[in-house]
Every structure is written in structure tokens, then in C-alpha cells.
Structure 1
Amino acid sequence: MPERNNDFGEFGARGIKGHEAVAWQLDAHAGFVATRVTARLHYLTRTERARAAAREAGLTVTDRTLKAWLDGRRSPSRKNLRNIESAYLQVRRRKVARYLLGRLNREGCGTRVEFHLLNQSQVTRPHHRVVEFRTLNVRHWDRIVEVWAAADDQALDDAWINEAVVDLGSQWGRYEYVTAIGFAA
């Protein structure tokens, strides 16, 4: 069984960790769209439950300040803009996690995942790895979606390796870094 890559990129290979590509893909499926700050504030404040989740996610301003922002009388500072963005992402992830889980597991059938090769264009010929395009049907997304919704990067890395990548067989270490991960939900 191969070990994890400790010196990735030493010879010029380029790519990202597979769990980061999965997180980006899950975020895209969750429907993160570029919206104005006021639209995100409305999303975070339209119900008491949403407000509680926003406070829990780090948006701790008074109701008076929120009202001023929503009315356009004041604008959030850069720090508060980052807090709004962070709270929006956390609340949105938690809200769509159950829906995504159902779509990805598809009643035990799973979802086909494509592993797009890492970029070896800058690697000298003797150091090239033989890495081919691979697909895999991932049937159990529970842990992956759970840690994605919780925004736990290390746990997502572990879950992605243990729940999906090791099913590629004895050469799974070759697919720890990729240029992209593709799947449809």
C-alpha cells in the first residue's frame, strides 16, 4: 500500500490535494453564487433559525447594525465582510448537506467520480509518473459530506482518502494530488 506524498511538487508536478477538489465541487453543487452582500445578509437573517446559525458561524453584530446594512445606510467593514462570507458559506453548507448526501449516495448506487491527472508538464522525463485517467463509483458519501459541511479540512482529507481514493487499488497514492475531481449530483 503506498504512503501519502510528503514531497509533492519536488520535481515540478502541479496539482491540488484531492479533498480540496472535492470541496470545490461540493461547493459548486451547493449553489454558491456570487451575490451582493445584502442578498447574503437577507439569507442569513430572514428567519430566527438562520440568525442563530449565522451567530454560531461568527457573525456577531447587533440587530441595529444588521438593519443599517440591509437598509444601505452603512456598509460592513472588511473584517465584517469576511465574517459575512464565512457565515454564509457555513450556513449554506449545513443547509444543503442532507440534500447533497441523498443525491450522491443515490440509494446505495453511489456517484461516479473522475480523477483528472496532475500536471506533469514541468517534470523531467525520468521523473514522470505513469498516471492515467481513472473513474470510480463512490457509494458512501456520508463521512465526506459530514466533514465538508463542518469545514474540517484535515478530516475531509482523511475521509476522502479512506472512503474513496483507497478503492482505486494499490496505486491510490498516485491520485492523492490531481488537477480536478469531477462528479455530478
Structure 2
Amino acid sequence: MPERTAEFGKYGASGIKGHEAVARRLDALADFIATPVTTRRGLMARLHYLTRTPHARAAAYDAGLTVTDRTLQAWLAGTRSPTKQNLARIDDAYRAVRRRNVARYLLARLNRAGRGTRVEIHPLNQSGVRPSHQRVVELRTLNIRHWEALVAAWSTGDDRALDDAWIEQIVDLGSQWGQYEYVTNIGFAA
């Protein structure tokens, strides 16, 4: 059984960790607000999302948005503007809360009542590797039936758990799974 890659890129290959590609795809499926937080519209949309219910406020506080209610009201009224650090906190809190809110929905869609979802794994880019050091890698597909660990790690932002969950899934590729630890892209739909 292959081990995890210790010196990725040593011979010129490029790509990203597979779990990072999965997280990017799940983020795309979560349908975040497209308008940047630096605009008034983007800021208001995020603040309304984070403050519309007591549960949302508590989740925003847990995610790191620890300003007073008075400050939040001033931001919502437009009498004060958040600092750059607070804009970053608002965006981070929004993403964390949104992930938690859509995790259960995404999990149901990805598991599809036990049928799972087909995942396309695009291999790493070897264009910078000398031909004598290149591996034979190709586009692979994998049907993942149990997304629980992947979605749970993604929704909490735990990269290590997401990496472990991804490796647990690609082991199903057989003895070649180590070739798909790093990828250029991962595609799936829900």
C-alpha cells in the first residue's frame, strides 16, 4: 500500500491536495454571497444573514464575530463602518455559519439515499516533470456513497479531518490511490 507523498513537487509536478479541491467544490455548492464584503451590499447581506435570528447570532459569535449588539446595529444602520479586520471577521463568520447551515442539505444530496455521487479526479499536472520521472496518471472516477466524514470536516473547517476523510475515500482506487493525493481538480455535482 502506498504511503502519503512526502516531497510533492520535487521533480516539478504541480497541483493541490485532494481535500482542498473537495473543500473548494463544496464551497461552490454552498452558494455563498457573490458580492464582496467590502461593498455596502455585500456587507449588509452578510450582516442580515448573521443577525436575522438569535440562533444565527449565536453561531456568528461562535464563529468569531464578537462585537457588541450596539456596534452591529450601527453597522446595519450605516452610521459606522467596520474596520478591515472586522470585515474579514464578518466574512469568515458568514462562511462558517453558511457551511454549518447547508451541511445537512448537502449531505443528503451527495449521499442520494445510498446511491452516492460520482466524483471525477483530475490528476496532478506533470508538464514540468522530465519524461523519465513522469508517472502514468489519468482521469479517474469514483462513486462516493458515504459523505458524512467529508461534509462534517468541511462544515467545521477541520483540514486535517478532511484530509483523512479524503484519503479514506480514495483508498478505494486500489494500489494507485497515492497518485491522486494531489490533483489539479475534483469535480462532482449535488
Q: How many Å apart are 1:37 and its aligned residue?
A: 1.2
Q: Which residue is equivalent to 1:172?
A: 177
Q: Which runs of 5+ in 2 are unaligned?
A: 36-41
Q: How many Å apart are 1:33 and its aligned residue?
A: 2.8
Instruction: Find out whether 1:103 has 2:118 as its counterpart.
Output: no
Q: Which residue is equivalent to 1:183?
A: 188
Contact 2:18-2:186 at 8 Å conserved across structures: yes
Q: Supply the AA of the counterpart residue of 2:115.
A: C
Q: How many Å apart are 1:178 and its aligned residue?
A: 0.3
User: Please, which of 25, 41, 48 is the counterpart of residue 54 of structure 2?
Assistant: 48
Q: Deviations over 1:23-62 (max 9, x none)?
A: 0000100111323111101100011110010001110001
Aligned residues: 184
Matches within 5 A, 1:146-161: 146-161=152-167
Output the CA distance in 1 between the equivalents of 2:122 and 2:53.
Answer: 41
Instruction: Find out whether 1:7 has 2:3 as its counterpart.
Output: no
Q: Supply the AA of the counterpart residue of 2:58.
A: A
Q: How many Å apart are 1:73 and its aligned residue?
A: 1.3
SS class of match (1:88): helix
Q: How many Å apart are 1:169 and its aligned residue?
A: 0.6
Could you list the structure 1 runs, at least 4 aligned residues long, displaced by more than 3 angstroms after superposition.
none
Output the CA distance in 2 between the equivalents of 1:79 and 1:107.
Answer: 42
Matches within 5 A, 1:59-78: 59-78=65-84
Contact 2:123-2:183 at 8 Å conserved across structures: yes
SS class of match (1:14): coil
Percentage of identical aligned residues: 69
SS class of match (1:169): helix
TM-score (norm 1): 0.98
Q: Supply the AA of the counterpart residue of 1:168.
A: L
Q: Which runs of 5+ in 1 are unaligned?
A: none
SS class of match (2:11): coil
Q: Supply the AA of the counterpart residue of 2:141.
A: T
Output the CA distance in 2 between the equivalents of 1:79 and 1:168.
Answer: 43
Instruction: Find out whether 1:119 has 2:119 as its counterpart.
Output: no
Q: How many Å apart are 1:116 and its aligned residue?
A: 0.7
Output the CA distance in 2 between the equivalents of 1:9 and 1:78.
Answer: 35
SS class of match (2:175): coil
